[in-house]
Amino acid sequence: MNHFLDINKTDPADLRGMIDQARVMKDARKGLPKGTKDADQPLKDHIVALIFEKPSTRTRVSFDVGVRQMGGETLVLSGSEMQLGHGESIADTARVLSRYVDLIMIRTFEESALLELAEYADVPVINGLTNRSHPCQIMADILTYEEHNGPIAGKKVVWTGDGNNVCASFIHAAGQFGFDLTFTGPPNLDPEAVFIEEARAKGAKIEIERDAAKAVEGADLIVADTWVSMHDAQSTRERRHNQLRPYQVNDHLMAGAKDDALFMHCLPAHREEEVTNAVMDGPQSVIFDEAENRLHAQKAVMRWCLGV
């Protein structure tokens, strides 16, 4: 059973195979109208359940379009439409869905819900996001970096701001893909120590540098994310803005990195907060390539899960 639960739980050779296949599949679609199906139809006669307990734009559209391009069909479900974790146990939900569909993607809050779903499902489960990690996003980011600047192994990635779920998956990827990562942000928003130690044990250089200007020296890639969640109270928003203002990605910060350094953001972005418009829309930004590559990377993940 090939579940895709986290980057650090997936064999590095399999991860590399997914990135390479995503690149091949993307190249094969060049010049085709958006609605054209792939010449290869590996998901023909397959049904994929897409469960969203959290709102989504890129995850929902990219998975839905990806399944359709590969010849499959989707069943899109929201938390409000299901008994998941409410009237019915997650384990029972997993058993029932396994009788209907070939693959399950879930975007949820607690990691425990993802893990329980995978434990009891008889079909592969994909982590579309939890509060703790976001592996599909980082697969797209690796694909994007390598399209522009070649292999990511040995490069320096700088994460600025909040050591959140996306940051966690970047740290997982450092250990699996062989690049180094520097986190720069306030101490109370550090990434989980267990993730840092695991990546270091695999040979990645993981550092914490409070001074953002020092952190970006020699950087090949700078990554930011929103400072606040849509669920955060106003008091939390104000406190986070005060804490994170020194870590805004602007022209001055980008100038401290390598000349060919890229900027990424998983979107949606709060412009002029964690990143300025000048950087978002500037020549080093690859945010929209990154968004598109969610489609191609996730298609490769689904193929790996199903062995097709």
Q: Which two tokens stand for residue 169?
A: 């998956």
The Cα angle at residue 87 between residues 230 and 116, in degrees rounded to 5: 70
- Would the pLDDT of 230 be above 60? no
What would the pLDDT profile of 127-143 be if each residue is shown by its tens digit? 999 999 999 999 999 99
**Percent of the chain's residues with pLDDT above 70:** 97
- Quick one: what percent of the chain has pLDDT higher than 90? 91
Nearest to 254 by CA among 220, 206, 211: 220
- Which pair of structure tokens corresponds to residue 174? 């450092």
Q: What mean pLDDT comes out for the span 170-179?
A: 98
Confidence of residue 81 (pLDDT cuts 50, 70, 90): confident
> Which ranges of the chain would DSSP assign to H, the alpha helix?
12-28, 58-69, 90-100, 111-120, 135-149, 165-177, 193-201, 212-215, 234-244, 251-255, 277-280, 287-306
Residue 73 has pLDDT above 90, yes or no: yes
- Give the phi and the psi of residue 273 in degrees, each rounded to 5: -105, -90
Residue 107 among the catalytic residues? yes
**Whole-number Å distance between alpha carbons of 88 and 105:** 18
Specify the pairing of strand 73-78 against strand 47-52.
Answer: parallel
Identify the active-site residue in 132, 141, 220, 266: 266
- The pLDDT score that the predictor gives to residue 232 is 62
Q: Is the pLDDT of residue 88 over 90?
A: no
Known catalytic membership, residue 270: no
Whole-angstrom CA distances from 229 to 64, 127, 213, 302 are: 24, 19, 25, 28
Catalytic hit among 60, 107, 296, 303: 107
Cis peptide before 191 (omega within 30 of 0): no
| Residue 286 dihedral angles phi and psi, to the nearest 5° | -125, 30
What pLDDT is attached to residue 145? 98
Closest by Cα among 47, 134, 57 to 97: 47
User: What pLDDT score was predicted for residue 297?
Assistant: 98
137 is catalytic: yes
Of 134, 172, 296, 303, the active-site residue reads 134
Tell me the average pLDDT of the chain.
Answer: 95
The answer to whether 132 is a known catalytic residue is no
Confidence tier at 231 by pLDDT (50, 70, 90) = low
The tens digit of pLDDT for each residue in 185-200 reads 999 999 999 999 999 9
Q: Which of 46, 172, 240, 294 is catalytic?
A: 294
**Residue 229: predicted pLDDT:** 72
- Tokens, residue 50: 């897409």
What's the token pair of residue 138?
């980082």
Residue that has been written with the tokens 């050779």 in this structure: 13
Quote the pLDDT of residue 1: 85
CB burial of residue 4 (10 Å; 0-12, 13-18, 19+): buried
Burial of 47 (0-12, 13-18, 19+ CB in 10 A): middle
Which of 137, 176, 284, 298 is the catalytic position? 137
**Catalytic site residue from 6, 180, 220, 225:** 225
pLDDT class for 235, splitting at 50, 70, 90? low
Q: How many CB atoms lie within 10 A of CB 268?
A: 12
pLDDT at res. 85: 58
Residue 233: per-residue pLDDT? 64
For residue 225, indicate whether it is catalytic.
yes
Task: Give residue-wise pLDDT tens across range 46-67.
Answer: 999 999 999 899 999 999 999 9
Instruction: Give the separation between CA 140 and CA 294, rounded to whole angstroms.
Output: 5
- What mean pLDDT comes out for the span 80-86? 71
